[in-house]
Amino acid sequence: MTLDAKQRKSLVGRSHPLKPIVYVGRHGVQPEQVATIREHFRNTDLVKVKIDAETREEVEGIAAILVETVPCELVARRGHVAILFSDASATD
């Protein structure tokens, strides 16, 4: 699943009122956090995750781990917040 620029822009716009539902700390991604994200994807197609990391590279690395383990697609990263998308019809 690959999103084009128009889809990403639309999803970013839809994500503005959302609050982060998971906070990933400096200990990295935990199985409970992945399970929580998957659970939220059963009800919605967009999830925000707040990532506590020192550098941009660490934030991007944690976001990449989430994309692989959930699985989902990274719509955008705004500072320490990753916006994730999962097509509900593809996960069933």
Give the ranges where 1-92 is alpha helix by DSSP (H).
Answer: 5-15, 31-41, 56-69, 88-91
Tens of pLDDT, residue by residue over 40-84, are: 999 999 999 999 999 999 999 999 999 999 999 999 999 999 999
Host H or E run for residue 16: none
CB-based contacts of 10, cutoff 8 Å, min separation 6: none
Distance of CA 49 to the CA centre of its chain: 5
CATH superfamily of 5-91: YhbY-like (3.30.110.60)
Residue 33 has pLDDT above 50, yes or no: yes
What confidence category does residue 21 fall into, taking pLDDT thresholds of 50, 70 and 90? very high
